[in-house]
Chain A
Amino acid sequence: MKRSPPKLSMSLLTFAGAAVATPALAADLAVTVEVPRLTVAEYHKPYVSIWIENPADATAAGTLAVWYDAGSKEDKGVKWLKDMRQWWRKAGRAMSFPADGISGATRAPGPQKLLFSGAKGPLKDLKPGQYNLVVEAAREVGGQEAVRVPFAWGKPGKPAVAKGATEVGAVTVAVK
């Protein structure tokens, strides 16, 4: 996942916001996703989608990241994207892959720190309000799990944490 240095994008947004006199959401979304370490006979790193959900109607408000095996010679990884079935139904099936700024390689077990710039992608036009950050993982010969973390977009807030039971570890979300 290649992203601009957060400080640069923040200052850009602040500047642009001031120039056109729109309410500048000078905020980024800091997310930590723990990929759980599993003791199983056959382990494959999970496919993970990180997306924003409108809590009122459970629709998707944007996809921040999709980790999958785009380098797979056999199917370019896209064959298994549908296994992240909530994300696939609400967002993924209408996208094309690889998706610029969203696609990324699968990640190893452990905490994965991410920072999504408020000046880019779905956060750029996200209206202030209450949302869920959803981390949905699906693992080959493993299970599927979606973990939701509520967050308020629009101003910096305290980190919120939720923890999955099987395929997703602790997820921390903070608006900075």
Chain B
Amino acid sequence: MPFKTRLLAVVAPLTFGVALALPLLVPSTASAHRGWMVPSATVLSGEGAWVGVDAAVSNELFYADHNPMRLDAVVVTAPDGSVEKIQNPATGKYRSTFDVQLAKPGTYKIGSAVSTITASWTQDGQVKRFRGSPEDFARQVPAAAADLKTIKSFNRNETFVTRDAPTTTVFAPTGKGLELVPVTHPNDLVAGEAATFRFLLDGKPAADLEVTFAPGNSRYRAAPGDFKVRTGADGSFKVTFPEAGMYWMNAVVRTGETGRGPGGPGMGGPGVAPGGAQPPATPLAGDGMSASYTATLEALLP
């Protein structure tokens, strides 16, 4: 992590005041584990088109150097809105891979939307903890639990591929979590041209949301090249991709108690194992929610 090291070296000798800001700075840059799905192509032509997808959680983009992405929750939404399974899935040490056949013309969404509830409550004088799906929450956590505190998170991680002309069926909002609404189609991105996107949070415009873009090929760049933009009141923002390539896009909304430090949930999408009830008997500090959105986008040469 050369960037982190350089940051420390430059900032530390200044003042204590500046040094205090460091813990907030670092997770958003150098030490963020970022979940991604990179398709072998995003713009395809003709019948018989397939893409292979690499999926991993890593620091450098897009190098599988940390953990494979879990594929349990990854599905394919076809241009007609039908949901299909991924094909030939395999999970290795550092990355998962799978295939998607583009049997129909139009735009496919490949991704996961994972809803997780973390909860604590008191039962028989003991603190109980839960982490899992809303369905398991309803089954396993008593409805009238004492001191019940919940953190609800909704994490999306997506990429898009188009065979022949782009379509927009897969972007129909569901009203859950953070969702991308294309003004510019995500498979119609060209380096140097301004693109417009819009974010919705639970179906409403996600205003004043910070959106991070990080280009791939970071290993061969002196500085990572990340940049941030902010949504307006209607949840929309403009972005111009400086050069052709794959980009990682991420936005996170947190309110209330989220039980984690900065840069916590959402970065890895479905990389977090659900259902693993942790025994540390400490109650949550309060109620909260988080929603994250991650996508891998490709900007083509003009």
Q: Is A76 an interface residue (CB 8 A)?
A: yes
Q: Which of B47, B48, B165, B301 contacts A85 (CB 8 A)?
A: B301
- Complex interface: stretch among B38-46, B132-140, B148-156, B225-233: B38-46
Distance of A94 Cα from B106 Cα, bound (Å): 10
The 8 A CB mask of A92-104 against B (1 = contact, 0 = none) is: 1110010000000
The 8 A CB mask of A56-69 against B (1 = contact, 0 = none) is: 00000000000000
Q: Are B46 and A88 in contact (CB under 8 A)?
A: no
Distance of A94 Cα from B188 Cα, bound (Å): 13
Q: Is B302 an interface residue (CB 8 A)?
A: yes
Q: Which of B47, B165, B302 contacts A94 (CB 8 A)?
A: B165
Q: Are A86 and B302 in contact (CB under 8 A)?
A: yes
Chain B contact residue count (CB 8 A cutoff): 16
Q: Are A78 and B43 in contact (CB under 8 A)?
A: no
> In the complex, how many angstroms separate the beta carbon of B189 from the nearest chain A beta carbon?
10
Q: Is B166 an interface residue (CB 8 A)?
A: yes
Q: Is B49 an interface residue (CB 8 A)?
A: yes
- With contacts A85-B300, A86-B302 taken as known, whether A97 is within 8 angstroms of B46 at the C-beta atoms is yes
Q: Which residues of A contact B162 (CB under 8 A)?
A: 93
- With contacts A89-B188, A93-B164, A94-B165 taken as known, whether A76 is within 8 angstroms of B302 at the C-beta atoms is no
Query: Which A residue sits closest to B301, measured CB to CB?
Result: A85
Q: Which residues of A contact B46 (CB under 8 A)?
A: 75-79, 81, 97
Q: Are B48 and A82 in contact (CB under 8 A)?
A: no
The 8 A CB mask of B28-68 against A (1 = contact, 0 = none) is: 00000000000000011111110000000000000000000
Distance of A79 Cα from B302 Cα, bound (Å): 20
Distance of A86 Cα from B165 Cα, bound (Å): 13
> In the complex, how many angstroms separate the beta carbon of A165 from the nearest chain B beta carbon?
15
Interface residues of B in 40-98 (CB under 8 A from A): 43-49
Q: Which residues of B contact A85 (CB under 8 A)?
A: 43, 300-301
The 8 A CB mask of A3-35 against B (1 = contact, 0 = none) is: 000000000000000000000000000000000
Distance of A82 Cα from B49 Cα, bound (Å): 11
Q: Which residues of A contact B190 (CB under 8 A)?
A: 89
Q: Are B45 and A81 in contact (CB under 8 A)?
A: yes
Q: Which residues of A contact B302 (CB under 8 A)?
A: 86
Query: Which B residue sits closest to A80, measured CB to CB?
Result: B45
> In the complex, how many angstroms separate the beta carbon of A169 from the nearest chain B beta carbon?
22
Q: Are B48 and A75 in contact (CB under 8 A)?
A: yes
Query: Which A residue sits closest to B50, measured CB to CB?
Result: A79
Q: Which residues of A contact B165 (CB under 8 A)?
A: 93-94
Looking at B44, B164, B166, the one whose CB has the most chain A CB atoms below 10 A away is: B164
The 8 A CB mask of B264-283 against A (1 = contact, 0 = none) is: 00000000000000000000
Q: Which residues of B contact A79 (CB under 8 A)?
A: 44-46, 48-49
Distance of A44 Cα from B99 Cα, bound (Å): 28
Distance of A97 Cα from B164 Cα, bound (Å): 11
Q: Are A88 and B45 in contact (CB under 8 A)?
A: yes
Q: Which residues of B contact A80 (CB under 8 A)?
A: 45
Q: Which residues of B contact A81 (CB under 8 A)?
A: 45-46
Q: Which residues of A contact B45 (CB under 8 A)?
A: 78-82, 88, 92-93
> In the complex, how many angstroms separate the beta carbon of B120 from the nearest chain A beta carbon?
52
Distance of A80 Cα from B188 Cα, bound (Å): 17
Q: Are B47 and A82 in contact (CB under 8 A)?
A: no
10 A-B contacts, Cβ less than 8 Å apart? Answer: A75-B48, A78-B46, A82-B43, A85-B43, A85-B300, A89-B43, A89-B188, A89-B190, A93-B43, A97-B46
For the A-B complex with A79-B49, A89-B43 known, give 18 more contacts whose Cβ atoms are closer than 8 Å: A75-B46, A75-B48, A77-B46, A78-B45, A78-B46, A79-B45, A80-B45, A85-B43, A86-B302, A88-B43, A88-B45, A89-B188, A89-B300, A93-B43, A93-B45, A93-B164, A93-B166, A97-B46
